[in-house]
Amino acid sequence: MSNRISLSSLVELLDNSFDYLLVLDAEQGVHHLNRTLGELIGETRSGVRECSSLADIVESADLVHFQKAMQRVAAGERGVVVYWKIKDDRAPIIFKVSSSGQTTEALYLFRSSLLTDVADLSLKSDWEQIERAKELACLYSIGEWIHISTSIPEFFEHLYKYLGPGMLYPEHVRVQSIYKGQVFGKPPVGDQRIRGELKIDDEVVGKIEVGYDEEGLDVLPEEQKLLDEIARFLCLALERKSLASSLEAKKEEADEYSREVESLRNEVEKSTEELEKQQTQLRTVNTYLDRIHQGLDDSKQTLKNMFAAIPDTVALIDMDFNIVMTNQAEELAGKPCYEALFGLEAPCLDCRLKKIQKLGAPVTQEARHGDTYYSAHAMPVFGEENKIDGIIEFFRDITYQKTYEQQLQQADKLASLGQLVSGIGHEINNPNQFIRGNIKIVQQALEGLLPIVDDYYKTHPDLKIARLNYDFFREHIMVLVNDMSNGSERIKRIVESLKGFARKDEGLLVDRVDINNVIEESSRLVHSQVHKFADISLDLGSDIPVFRGNAQKLEQVLINLVINASQAMPDDTRGEIQISSRQDGEWAVVEVADNGSGMGEATVRNIFDPFFTTKRARGGTGLGLSIAFRIMEEHGGQISVSSTVGEGTTFTMRLPLGGKETDTEQEQGSLEKEG
């Protein structure tokens, strides 16, 4: 397939541009007439397709008109028109005549359109007719250059020689072409330029820019049309050349492949002979290896069983955080360790792999994920050149130990605080007794004195007491005294709570406690106080055994937890408090859950500490939950809390069903509610 556009492609372009087209040479020889004109002439003359001269298709009377028109055009005249009456019953054809030059090799172009009007022709200047002839000659020259150029670079390097004569100022033309990144020619000066895109298979592979080497020389719209036509049939030529090159490359590739196949065939034949010689040796070796593999499989299975028997979680992790091997579920292998073991989306903040990568030494630390505590021990795994290829990590669940340790710390704090509180309460209570008694006397004295002073004030309006106007003093003095009395009473209640907190229970835990009855009774007692903020729902387990304890104290613990839950509800939301019970082995478990504001980690960590409260402005003393902790300890039980900010809080009470007895009498008094 040719990779150049031939003259026939240019002629086809002209055929599609005009309804009637006739091309003659200087000797009046017919070089081309389009199909429409040929059919029209064929209606009156036979053998028109074989004609070689203008005289074969034109009557002698009309021949003179064509000859004169050719002479006028050859002399440089523009706007030459020929009228040709082919048939009496048809309107004459109006041909516009142009020439490619004045030499003996010049071509004469007779073109006409059914839409052409004589009036239109009269308006056309000679200059325009000359420019159109130049454009057609330019198209023909470029078509020939495409045909004879030996390569694409050669075509673009000399394109300016063939495109220039079609422009208004040929001596000033500059042409720059870009094809697949390679630049040819010089860019035009200024912004006055025309552009054409080069596309192959809808992909832009280059462009052509045409302009002049001086400012002020304008390009014409017709010149842009000329460049568009040049770009169109140039793209066809490039596409054909690209296809031809592709086919040639595929042929070369196929030939090379055939040579490689032949070479491989020879090698295979030689290798086959060698392999046949080695097969006998391999059979002997295979028998020996089978015995070794069997031993390795047995060892591997033994190692796998030992690995799976390790009670702690063991994981071999590569440097990309992926689990290579684990004694847990096999499907965890290949997954990121932080996702498979802890359900996270990114590596842990205290990642052992990163620490070992930095330190190059084993790492042991405690970690927490959710409500679970782990003791993690990680060791580096070294590969070639003593380079760390990963780590092997051991995880042990120490949640129970941590909980027990926290409870021991809490109990120790409470025991130490009890000794301190007992003495402090006595020292505070003695002076407070004087304050309470004296305030009552002051109240009674003021009640008797104030009427007398009121009468005196009527005749002495400028009276002042304590540098205050008497009317202001009279309005506020009793409020101040009452506040002092209330403050003294509050000190008394706090001291009594401190004494109750410090005093060890002196009664026996001899009640037969039905925990469901305790829950129902506590719910009834707090209903009037709680129903303004939340609804209480019960989910009580059946057949929970009765155990020994102090029903009144357990009731007070539950009341404290429920009231705290109701006070944790947001102001604009009505909450829900759910109390549930169940049996868990040798334990009775009670949970008080709310959907309130929840608590942060720092609050949860200190919630059972004495005097810790988040509601001190509303009168909270911070003793309610610490006393609840002491009561649960006396019963041999446990109390714990889990909370999420914005979601709610759950308190869990665990009481042994075996009960716990002491040698002292049952404590009398009420539990200070957490406020």
Contact between 234 and 245 under an 8 Å Cβ cutoff? The reply is no
Q: 606 to each of 369, 373, 405, 610, 641, how far by Cα in Å?
A: 19, 18, 15, 9, 11
The residue ranking higher by pLDDT, 103 or 176, is 176
Residue 519: what pLDDT?
A: 92
Pair type for strands 575-584 and 638-644: unpaired
CATH of 134-309 among 3.40.50, 3.40.1000, 3.30.450, 3.30.70? 3.30.450
pLDDT band at 661 (very low <50, low <70, confident <90, very high): very low
Asked if the model's pLDDT at residue 429 lies above 80, the reply is no
Contact between 222 and 132 under an 8 Å Cβ cutoff? The reply is yes
Residue 354: what pLDDT?
A: 81
Asked if the model's pLDDT at residue 674 lies above 50, the reply is no
CA torsion through residues 551, 552, 557, 563, sign: positive
Average pLDDT over residues 612-634: 73
- 384: number of Cβ within 10 Å: 6
Which range has the worst mean pLDDT, 117-126, 235-244, 351-360? 117-126
Average pLDDT over residues 409-423: 59
Return mean pLDDT, the chain.
78
Q: Does domain 313-395 have CATH number 3.30.450.20?
A: yes
Residue 69: what pLDDT?
A: 87
Bridge partners for 372 per DSSP: 369
Model confidence pLDDT, tens digit, residues 37-85: 888 887 666 545 556 888 888 888 788 888 888 888 888 887 788 878 7
The domain segmentation of the chain, as residue ranges, is 1-124, 134-309, 313-395, 402-502, 511-656
The residue ranking higher by pLDDT, 404 or 347, is 347
CA 355 to the chain's CA centroid: 29
Which range has the worst mean pLDDT, 157-171, 243-257, 360-374? 243-257
Residue 44: what pLDDT?
A: 64
Residue 308: what pLDDT?
A: 64
Q: Which residue type, as a one-letter code, is found at position 52? A: S
Asked if the model's pLDDT at residue 463 lies above 50, the reply is yes
The residue ranking higher by pLDDT, 30 or 493, is 30
pLDDT band at 559 (very low <50, low <70, confident <90, very high): confident
Model confidence pLDDT, tens digit, residues 195-205: 888 887 778 88
Q: Which helix (H) or strand (E) holds 198?
A: strand 193-200
pLDDT band at 576 (very low <50, low <70, confident <90, very high): very high
The values of phi and psi at residue 509, to 5°, are -90, 80
Average pLDDT over residues 156-179: 82
> By percentage, how much of the chain surpasses pLDDT 70?
79
pLDDT band at 481 (very low <50, low <70, confident <90, very high): confident
**How far is residue 504's CA from residue 43's CA, in Å, rounded to a whole number?**
133
Average pLDDT over residues 538-566: 89
Which range has the worst mean pLDDT, 87-91, 268-272, 582-586? 87-91
Report H helices in 331-398.
337-342, 352-359
Residue 417: what pLDDT?
A: 58
Residue 495: what pLDDT?
A: 73
Asked if the model's pLDDT at residue 580 lies above 90, the reply is yes
Residue 675: what pLDDT?
A: 35
**How far is residue 399's CA from residue 394's CA, in Å, rounded to a whole number?**
15
Question: Can 1-124 and 313-395 be said to share one CATH topology?
Answer: yes
Burial of 547 (0-12, 13-18, 19+ CB in 10 A): buried
pLDDT band at 625 (very low <50, low <70, confident <90, very high): confident
Residue 673: what pLDDT?
A: 35
pLDDT band at 641 (very low <50, low <70, confident <90, very high): very high
Bridge partners for 109 per DSSP: 23, 98
Contact between 176 and 199 under an 8 Å Cβ cutoff? The reply is no
Residue 7: what pLDDT?
A: 64
**How far is residue 108's CA from residue 33's CA, in Å, rounded to a whole number?**
12
Asked if the model's pLDDT at residue 175 lies above 80, the reply is yes
> By percentage, how much of the chain surpasses pLDDT 90?
9
The residue ranking higher by pLDDT, 373 or 444, is 444
Which range has the worst mean pLDDT, 13-27, 407-421, 628-642? 407-421
Average pLDDT over residues 229-248: 71
Q: Which helix (H) or strand (E) holds 643?
A: strand 638-644
The residue ranking higher by pLDDT, 506 or 630, is 630
CATH code, residues 511-656:
3.30.565.10
Which range has the worst mean pLDDT, 46-50, 58-62, 120-124, 423-427? 120-124
Model confidence pLDDT, tens digit, residues 265-319: 888 888 888 877 777 777 777 777 777 777 777 766 666 666 666 767 888 888 8
Residue 507: what pLDDT?
A: 46
CA 12 to the chain's CA centroid: 56
Asked if the model's pLDDT at residue 124 lies above 50, the reply is no
CATH code, residues 1-124:
3.30.450.20
Asked if the model's pLDDT at residue 32 lies above 90, the reply is no
